[in-house]
Chains A and B, each alone.
Chain A
Amino acid sequence: MEWLANTEWSIALHESRYAYAIVESIHVWALCLFVGFAVLLDLRLIGAIFRGVPVSHMTKRLLPWTKVGFAVMVVSGVVLFYAIPLRTYYNVFFRVKVILLILAGLNAFAFHNGIYRNIAKWDTDGPAPRAARRAGMVSLVLWAAIVFSGRLIAYNWFDCGKPQSTLINAFAGCTPDMIDPYSQ
């Protein structure tokens, strides 16, 4: 991780006046495309919007764009991480965000390999069957929490070396030399 932080490009990115801000703006713009469309699909499953649009139309027409948005999110997100790797790696909110991202991925995987397999049976139902509604609700909550934790990565409330419980230090991955012995 330290090696990554010392690479020429990482230093250039985080010392640059505009590069970091531009990449972050792209990250925020892609949020509208990716999370925005994912939210619409989730709301459709719940039956809160587009009740007259078959779910298969939503997935067929919107998911390709969601994937484009996701690709931009991942690439810009990796660049943002690369610009400040050490601080981010030991950041509690970053770790929460990664866990939530994995959960969101599992939820989407379970949906597509579960209830979505017999989409033909419920394609035109206003609110989808219970399992699909649940997947939609879980997805909405997870993505809202991911946006939250992503935004909070900018704050150093729980940085290693702060007077805080050993539990938080362990979760943040702080090594003994990063923890202030007098703060415990």
Chain B
Amino acid sequence: MLLPLFEALEASAIGEAIRDSLWLFPIVEAFHLVGLAVIGGAILVVDFRLLGLGLRTQPVSKLARDVQPWVIGSLVLMILSGFPLFLSEAIKCYYSFAFWTKMTALLLAVIFTFTIRRSVAFAPDGRFSPSSYKAVAITSIALWSTVGWGGRWIGFS
């Protein structure tokens, strides 16, 4: 059912332009990787704090609010750079286990980050127990790591 859609996406002008160019794919991917470092840092710094590591002298809610624009900004950069990469090899992605793993994890990670994780991290310190902090942080790290690893493995398949 999805295959015709993926075929159409692969045939798109952007997909074709990237395939035809020697350097476009690597350059866009390098931007994707720089974005990864930023989103990784912005996610991890709060997850570490929830685990009681890193910036543990700062209130969780303050850190989480401060870092939120960077999470959103780098997520936008990731999607803007990731979508053209996908367009250039949509059919390969359709048959790639790593791709579907990544997209499933990404969907779950985004929903989790902007619902449960957000309400726990934005709440005044003390509202939630240390163990719920830990559960949220571990879930977040597990989901986002799956997104990252899945993404890297699209290239190996």
Contact = CB atoms under 8 A, between A and B. Distances in A.
> Which secondary structure dominates where chain B touches chain A?
helix
Interface residues of A, number: 34
A32 B66 contact: no
Given A32-B41, A33-B40, A65-B48, 11 more contacts: A32-B37, A32-B39, A35-B41, A36-B41, A36-B44, A40-B41, A43-B70, A57-B58, A61-B57, A143-B37, A152-B30
B149 A61 contact: no
Interface in B26-64: 26, 29-30, 33-34, 36-45, 48, 53-58, 62-63
Contacts of B29: 151
Of A32, A35, A155, chain B has the most CB atoms within 10 Å of the CB of A32
A39 B55 contact: no
B57 A36 contact: no
A168 interface: no
A74 interface: no
B40 A36 contact: yes
Contacts of A13: none
Contact of A24 (B30, B66, B152): B152
Nearest to B66: A50
B84 to A, nearest CB: 16
Given A21-B153, A36-B38, A147 B148 contact: no
